[in-house]
Structure 1
Amino acid sequence: MENRVEKVAVADGAFDLHLWVPDGGHGPVVLLVQEIYGVGPYIRGVAEELAGLGYVVGAPDLFWRIQPGWVAGHDEAGTAESLKIGARFDVPQGVSDAAAALSLLRALPEADGRAGVVGFCLGGSVAYLLAATVEADAVLSFYGSAVPDATGLMERIACPLLMVFGGSDPYIPRDRVALVEEAAAGRPNVEVHVAEQAGHAFLNYEAPQFHNPEAAPAVWALGLDFLNRHLR
């Protein structure tokens, strides 16, 4: 597969969009939104897997105004530093950047039809908020901590939306997840899946302190099926 970097121009500068093109040379596009660790080994691994499945994948460097090219280890020190960077992140500005990145992705010559968004942790919040502001064909949000406080935006989201949470997540308590479930009830375009025994970031196999090897495979398969149903 081809891997290159595109530049996304916005009003106050430009940032990197890391791009993976499948061997077929074209496909539906997926905007892959980073965790606080940056576009590092886990996000790159997910991008390569999605590109291997035929998607054109773009992962924007959302921390470019704070620390361009930020990549941190998934250990205690890397987590602490990433949390500091994340605390300085302007979420509305990040959503605007993500929208610009999605627009560039759609315009690529390799783009073939539909467009989706996938985000993890911080990116899960950005993906959800983005779904309320732009048109997409599918949005997949993993454990976005901003979602429970923004359930009112759900009525603005027309595209298929799947939100995944861990039922034992200390950062998003189960009663907060229940608010999302209540808001989603009766909305035919919205799905919520809760892995009850899993915690935060349980899909991240680069972070042993978070990864749940029992829950992760089935949930990731669920996410891939969601993308296949709506982007193919």
Structure 2
Amino acid sequence: MTQSLNRPDEAPRTSPDTAAAALALGDDALVLSHRLGEWAGHAPVLEEEVALANIALDLLGQARVLLGTVGDEDELAYLREERAFRNLQLVEQPNGDFAHTIVRQLYFSAYQHLLYAQLADGETEFAPLAAKAVKEVAYHQDHALQWTLRLGDGTEESHTRMQRAVDALWRFTGEMFQPVPGLDLDQEELQAGWTATVTTTLRQATLTVPDGPQTGAWRAGAGRQGLHTEPFGRMLAEMQHLHRSHPGASW
């Protein structure tokens, strides 16, 4: 049996701000891990199925460490309601076709790599995890980059699908650069680095970079505040079904 997260005789493991930051980063990794896991048995080629599964497992490992600093990782993953999740809306977007999955991964891994690089150089509780995870995420980013170049500058069909994905997911990127309590980050450096990386990659792939700033007067997405898009509810129901159907079970 798992222990309750709200036992009055237990002191908080971390400060409220640190716990909130760990929850946000952990939810990002958990949700995207599940989305990538949905490709099992459906990837375009066997090698790619293995690659996506490995990325999903890396993210799941990150999620376990981060959520474990807040409370019981199983309870946090399987017993919270939708509004209690603090992940970016970007990572909860459906896989769509393979192009959508690759663009989603490009956007997020470019952000996550820069974020962990900053955290690894700091002196917070996140530094040890970030120092390890930044190496994993470098592979995630390179994987997405190579596929972006291959598909963007490929056939007319692959180019069209990639451009459609680039445009459809762009509006979810602004949320990545909103401050997260508990994370001491240079947000301007983070956004500038991300913009430069993604812009360069898209142009090399002969894809058009969408117009509009990621931050400023226009901001899309409020996943960090617990407001999620419609597909997230369906994904969460699927992810939590087994645990909720057999509470306390172990195998």
The normalised TM-score by structure 2 is 0.30
Judging by fraction of residues, say which structure has more helix.
Answer: 2
TM-score between both structures, scaled by the size of structure 1: 0.31
Higher strand proportion (structure 1 or 2): 1
